[in-house]
Amino acid sequence: MRYALQVQYVGKNYSGSQIQFRNGEEIPSPTIQGELEKAIRTLICGNTANNIRPIKTYFSGRTDKGVNAYGQVVHFDTDKQFVASKFLYSLNEILPADISVSDLRQVDETFHAQKSAKSRHYRYEFITRKSHNAFDGDLLRVKFDVDETRMQASLNYLLGEHDFSSFKNSGTLNPSKVCIITEAKALKNGDKVIIDIKGNRFLYNMVRTIVGTLLEIEGHNLPPEYMKEVLEAKDRRKAGQTVSPYGLTLIKVEY
């Protein structure tokens, strides 16, 4: 039987969503996957000799250290039957406080959290203020003002199907660099700026590099058309810096 979960987490205390390996050996660092698998197998296997990773979880996509999720989707397979509502309650009781599961349901065995996904929605939030505020948390603080209209004009050049090589990090494993962006919006509410981007897929650090390019355009008063130049260059050196992961959240995955 296959089950799908909707997972929320604050990524600050984890080395990303996925368990990491080096030379075939698991790196002993905290991850969302590690905590989730440990909790699931505790409920399914208990404290028995079989409690040695009999559960393998599959995420809709990898998130880096510091990145949050509100709507991460995960699936796993098990032969054990259980009442989903009771299992969900118990799972949340033993997970760390910064990880929770809002939904758990049985799905068809053809469902795959990553491969079945049609679109993903990411949000990046940052603050525009010269002075520190205790309630800013870990959000990136930009010490210059930005223009919402100009940012939206820049983002509009990203809509549609493009080669996003200029915005990919060297750590991208998938050789495909073409993505389809269906929505890209900028919203400014006082000192807080929210960038929402939806697409069929995203390259490694792509959203954070897009935001870094937006800030370069605003910080140097470049024309919004510069975003188009960066996109068409297919050259990572043309884009802005990859900004802090804090403030980036996976909002929703659609199937």
pLDDT given for residue 148 in this prediction: 97
d(CA 107, CA 84): 12
Catalytic residues: 64
d(CA 223, CA 203): 25
pLDDT given for residue 1 in this prediction: 92
Lookup: tokens for 48:
């028995």
What number of other Cβ atoms are within 10 A of residue 243's Cβ?
A: 22
Q: In sequence order, what E strands does the chain have? A: 2-9, 21-22, 25-26, 57-59, 68-77, 99-107, 119-128, 140-142, 160-163, 178-189, 192-199, 248-254
Closest C-alpha to 33, from 21, 55, 53, 17: 17
| Digit-coded pLDDT (tens) for 95-145 | 999 999 999 999 999 999 999 999 999 999 999 998 989 989 999 999 999
What number of other Cβ atoms are within 10 A of residue 6's Cβ?
A: 19
pLDDT given for residue 77 in this prediction: 95
Ranges of H-type helices in the chain: 32-45, 84-94, 148-156, 206-219, 226-233
pLDDT given for residue 48 in this prediction: 54
Residues 6+ apart with CB under 8 A from 117: 60, 61, 73, 253, 254, 255
| Digit-coded pLDDT (tens) for 18-42 | 988 877 777 888 999 999 999 999 9
3-state secondary structure of 226: helix
pLDDT given for residue 218 in this prediction: 97
Cα–Cα distance list, 147 to 151, 152, 229, 237, 239 (Å): 6, 9, 20, 24, 19
Q: Give the residue ranges of the chain where pLDDT is below 50.
A: 49, 51
pLDDT given for residue 173 in this prediction: 60
pLDDT given for residue 20 in this prediction: 82
pLDDT given for residue 52 in this prediction: 55
- For 134, counting Cβ atoms within 10 Å of its Cβ (0-12 exposed, 13-18 middle, 19+ buried), the class is exposed
User: Could you give all domains of the chain from N- to C-terminal order, each with its CATH number?
Assistant: 2-107 (3.30.70.580), 119-254 (3.30.70.660)
Q: Are 192 and 208 in contact (CB under 8 A)?
A: no
pLDDT given for residue 169 in this prediction: 82
